[in-house]
Structure formats: structure tokens, C-alpha cells
């Protein structure tokens, strides 16, 4: 390498500690070198004092489902109350853009260059089973590609604040390349810590602990990268587990490194106290027993939709006034699903939370957002965590158990007949959930506003 550089008049760049695969060990640095070789940077312009201007923020929202989109549009609403002149650009992809476009938010043109994370997760799914940790490990190229899109955006445009809601690409590569940080940066998440699935044995336990140890080392080594870490929830929502053998307890470590804003629903449950009026607005009859079936926006819930649809004829016999509405979401074509007389199939439904507040029962995946919306509105629901999805199986389940909310069911054990019986048992029943505060978005906005 040194001889080649000398013979060609090139510049030798060595990367200490990168071993024999620097493009894998330090991919951002290698990409920067390639870009500068292909398109040499222009000389820096003559310095002039920057004119006063409006504050600008770049918001990066995880596209894995629609849950992040719900809270990520609630936070800017509150943030703009504190900074009315704040401009927000979104670096986002489908299905998050579906929500953003409906609200008139400004989506950065570079969003079109992002590699699909939702497509990756959907491709990793098989029959209501999504090995979340392994899928995450297999998306290195997607995360790197999307970070480079982000890097180009902030290289060419000036922002005062970067907000990353579970933007794993941004957080990881900023800690690996802290010199890339040129603005205040806030990180948001609703869970902390990879957890191994028991049936995966010692190897997965080792790998999860190794990933957790790397994250802990990054935070401890470069505490200045995150100007604020926000946990969307309360300390009691954190699982009582360790990051791994000889590693800290997750709750103790999180309490030392995070601020807590409480859960963010994006609406005030008090708005739906008058359910009769709400049901009339949504065209639900007073005698109808409304069951909403929804699996979010990621497209990984098709198997559950089909299983619940198969249960409909028997459920209808058990509950004669049953009205079942299946919401396929933005990534599943309703026309691809089976149909029964009386069953209603819908695509993406804007403000689905209003329908969930009005229903007599919901059947959902184990995703946090929909389950917590139902908890906040005190509606009975059945939830089916995706197999091998550690977040849904452990983190979300722990939070729902703390709120005494929902009835957990296992997909592999739930025949259509068993689902129909569960629908008949739980539809319309009274619940006694722990209350969910409605000020989470405002509290999160106050934490972010301090960075502006």
C-alpha cells in the first residue's frame, strides 16, 4: 500500500486498529475518503459572520412500524409552542411519511435516498415470528447507507438540533465517529437493552451481552455525543434485568444516563370520555360490539390478520352483534386477505386511535404504541407478541403487566377457535388499568427545547 501510494503520487491513509477490513471496521471513514477522492472537496469559503436566522431541527424517526410516528408528531407540536419560529425537517421513510404527509410536515428530499428498514424487517418475518435481534444484526449495510445520507444532509445544511427517535444508524455511527457531530443531538427510545430469547441458548446470550457492552462503552467513552437521552416512559417501565453477566442492571444504568418524560400517547384520553358521542361520529351503532383488528404499519402482521379473520365466523356466532373491522395498514393490501360476509377490511386509517378509543375490543400485535393507546383509553384488548421479538416479548410485556393491561396470547397456541372464544370472553368487559399520564409529549418537548 505504501509503495503504491508513492508510485502513483497518492496519499496513504492508515486506520489504526482496523485490522485487515478497514471498510467494515471504520466504514464511515472509508466512505468519506472514497467520496473525497471521487469528488475532491472545494476550498473552504472566506469566513463571514452568519446572519441571524430561525432555529432549525432535523428529525429522524424510526420507520419500523407507525408507533414512532404517532409520538414523533406529538413532540414537535409541543416543541413549536416553546419555539414558535422553529423549522423542522424530517428525514423519514414509508410508512412514517404517510403520517407526516397527512399533517403537512416538511419531508427532506434526501429521504428518497434512504434504504428501506421496514422492507428488511418484513423480509425477516415468517408466520408471526420475527427474530428481532438477528434481524438487527443483519441490517448493517442499511444502517450505514442511511447514516451516510444523513451525513451528507448535515454536511450541506446547518441545523441547530438533531432528534433521533430510535435512529440506530445515527446513534451508533456518531459514537463511532464523534468528529461528525456538528449540532446538538437528542436520542429517544422506549426500551434499553438487547435481551436474549431463552430457546436460543448461550450463543445468543453472549451476543446480546456483547452488543450491550459495546453500547455502554460508547456512551461512557463519548458522553458528549448525546446532549440528551430521553426515555419514553417511567423508571418502573424498565425491565428488571441485567445487560449481561458482569454488566450493570438495566434500570440502574438507565436512570443514571437518561431523563424520563413518561409515555407519549399523542392525545389526551379525556377527549374520548364521552364514548357514545365518539361512536356516533365514527358511525358505530349503540348495539354493535365493535372489534378492531390491527397490526400496525410494518407489514409483519399478515399472519395474525389471517388467523383472526379465520376466527370471525365462529366469533360472530358467539357474539351475534359483533362488528369486526380489520385494518391492514399501509404495507398490506386488504385485497390480498380472505373475506367473509359481514367482515370489514380497510387499508390505512388516519387517526386510528379514535377508533380504538371507541371499540369494545381490539386484537393487536405486541407493539407498544397501539397497546398503550388502548391502555390509556381503558379498552379491553388481546395482544400477540411476535415470536422471538425480544422487545415485544419482554420490554412491552413488562410495561403492560405494570399497567395491568391487556390479555397476552401466544400465536402458536391460538387456533381460530381459541381466538373466537377469547373475543367472546373479553369484548365489552370492564377494565381497571393503571392510568397513563397525558403530558408525555410536553415533558419531552421541554427537555429538547433546552438544547435550542
Quote the mean pLDDT of the chain.
93
Q: What is the pLDDT of residue 417?
A: 98
Q: Determine the angle formed by the axes of helices 168-176 and 201-221, rounding to 10 degrees.
A: 60
Provide mean pLDDT across the span 361-374: 94
Q: Which three cell numbers stand for residue 247?
A: 454488566
Confidence at 348, pLDDT banded by 50, 70, 90: confident
pLDDT at 46 over 70: no
Torsion of CA 128, 134, 138, 142, to 10 degrees: 60
Q: What is the mean pLDDT of residues 159-174?
A: 96
How is residue 350 annotated by DSSP? T
pLDDT of 240:
97
pLDDT band at 360; cut points 50, 70, 90: very high
Q: Assess contact for 316 and 336: CB atoms under 8 A.
A: no
Regarding predicted confidence, which is higher, 255 or 44?
Answer: 255
Extract the C-alpha cell encoding 397. Answer: 410485556
pLDDT at 30 over 90: yes
Condensed to tens digits (0 to 9), the pLDDT of residues 388-438 reads 999 999 999 999 999 999 999 999 999 999 999 999 999 999 999 999 999
For the CA atoms of 362, 305, 407, 356, the dihedral, rounded to the nearest 10 degrees, stands at -20
Residue with cell 438540533: 161
Which residue's entry shows cell 400465536? 411
pLDDT per position as a tens digit, 132-164: 999 999 999 999 999 999 999 999 999 999 999
The predicted pLDDT at position 47 comes to: 63
Lowest-pLDDT range of 18-22, 145-149, 256-260, 296-300: 296-300
Q: What is the DSSP letter of 179?
A: G
Element (H, E) at 57: strand 56-61
pLDDT digits (tens, 9 = 90+) for 182-235: 999 999 999 999 999 999 999 999 999 999 999 999 999 999 999 999 999 999
Element holding 442 (H helix, E strand): helix 440-449
pLDDT band at 20 (very low <50, low <70, confident <90, very high): confident
Helix (H) and strand (E) counts in the chain: 19, 13
pTM: 0.92
Lowest mean pLDDT among 155-169, 293-307, 357-371: 293-307
CB 87 within 8 A of CB 57: yes
Cis omega before residue 95 (within 30°)? yes
Lowest-confidence region among 48-62, 69-83, 95-109: 48-62
Confidence band (pLDDT; 50, 70, 90) for 331?
confident
Amino acid at each position: 500500500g505504501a509503495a503504491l501510494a508513492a508510485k502513483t503520487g497518492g496519499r496513504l491513509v492508515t486506520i489504526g486498529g482496523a485490522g485487515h477490513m478497514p471498510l467494515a471496521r471504520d466504514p464511515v471513514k472509508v466512505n468519506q475518503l472514497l467520496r473525497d477522492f471521487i469528488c475532491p472537496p472545494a476550498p473552504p469559503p472566506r469566513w463571514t459572520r452568519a446572519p441571524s436566522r430561525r432555529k432549525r431541527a432535523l428529525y429522524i424517526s424510526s420507520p419500523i412500524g407507525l408507533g414512532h410516528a404517532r409520538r414523533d408528531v406529538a413532540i414537535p407540536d409541543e416543541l413549536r409552542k416553546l419555539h414558535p419560529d422553529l423549522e423542522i425537517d424530517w428525514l423519514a421513510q414509508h410508512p412514517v411519511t404517510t403520517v407526516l404527509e397527512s399533517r403537512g410536515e416538511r419531508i427532506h428530499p434526501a429521504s428518497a435516498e434512504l434504504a428501506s428498514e421496514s422492507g428488511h424487517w418484513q423480509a425477516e418475518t415468517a408466520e408471526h415470528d420475527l427474530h428481532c435481534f438477528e434481524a438487527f444484526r443483519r441490517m448493517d449495510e442499511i444502517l450505514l447507507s442511511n447514516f451516510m445520507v444523513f451525513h451528507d444532509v448535515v454536511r450541506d445544511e446547518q441545523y441547530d438540533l438533531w432528534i433521533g427517535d430510535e435512529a440506530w444508524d445515527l446513534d451508533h455511527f456518531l459514537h463511532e465517529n464523534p468528529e461528525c457531530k456538528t449540532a446538538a443531538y437528542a436520542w429517544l427510545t422506549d426500551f434499553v437493552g438487547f435481551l436474549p430469547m431463552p430457546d436460543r441458548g448461550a450463543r445468543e446470550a453472549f451476543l446480546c451481552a456483547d452488543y450491550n457492552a459495546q453500547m455502554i462503552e460508547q456512551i461512557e467513552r463519548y458522553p458528549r455525543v448525546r446532549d440528551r437521552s430521553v426515555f419514553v416512559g417511567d423508571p418502573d417501565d424498565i425491565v428488571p434485568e441485567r445487560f449481561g453477566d458482569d454488566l450493570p442492571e438495566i434500570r440502574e444504568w438507565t436512570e443514571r444516563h437518561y431523563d424520563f418524560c413518561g409515555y407519549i400517547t399523542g392525545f389526551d384520553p379525556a377527549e374520548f370520555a364521552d364514548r357514545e358521542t365518539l361512536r356516533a361520529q365514527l358511525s358505530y351503532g349503540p348495539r354493535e360490539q365493535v372489534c378492531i383488528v390491527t397490526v400496525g404499519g410494518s407489514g409483519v402482521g399478515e399472519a395474525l390478520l389471517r388467523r383472526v379473520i379465520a376466527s370471525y365466523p365462529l366469533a360472530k356466532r358467539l357474539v351475534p352483534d359483533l362488528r369486526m373491522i380489520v385494518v391492514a395498514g399501509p404495507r398490506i393490501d386488504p385485497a390480498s386477505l380472505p373475506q367473509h360476509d359481514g367482515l370489514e377490511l380497510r387499508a390505512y386509517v388516519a387517526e386510528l386511535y379514535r377508533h380504538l378509543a371507541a371499540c369494545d375490543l381490539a386484537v393487536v400485535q405486541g407493539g407498544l404504541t397501539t397497546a398503550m393507546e388502548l391502555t390509556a383509553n381503558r379498552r379491553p384488548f388481546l395482544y400477540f407478541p411476535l415470536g422471538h421479538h425480544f422487545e415485544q416479548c419482554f420490554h412491552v410485556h413488562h410495561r403492560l403487566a405494570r399497567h395491568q393491561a391487556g390479555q397476552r396470547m401466544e400465536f402458536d397456541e391460538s387456533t381460530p377457535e381459541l381466538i373466537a372464544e377469547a373475543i367472546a370472553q373479553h369484548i365489552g368487559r370492564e377494565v381497571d388499568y393503571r392510568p397513563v399520564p397525558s403530558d408525555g409529549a410536553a415533558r419531552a418537548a421541554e427537555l429538547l427545547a433546552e438544547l435550542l
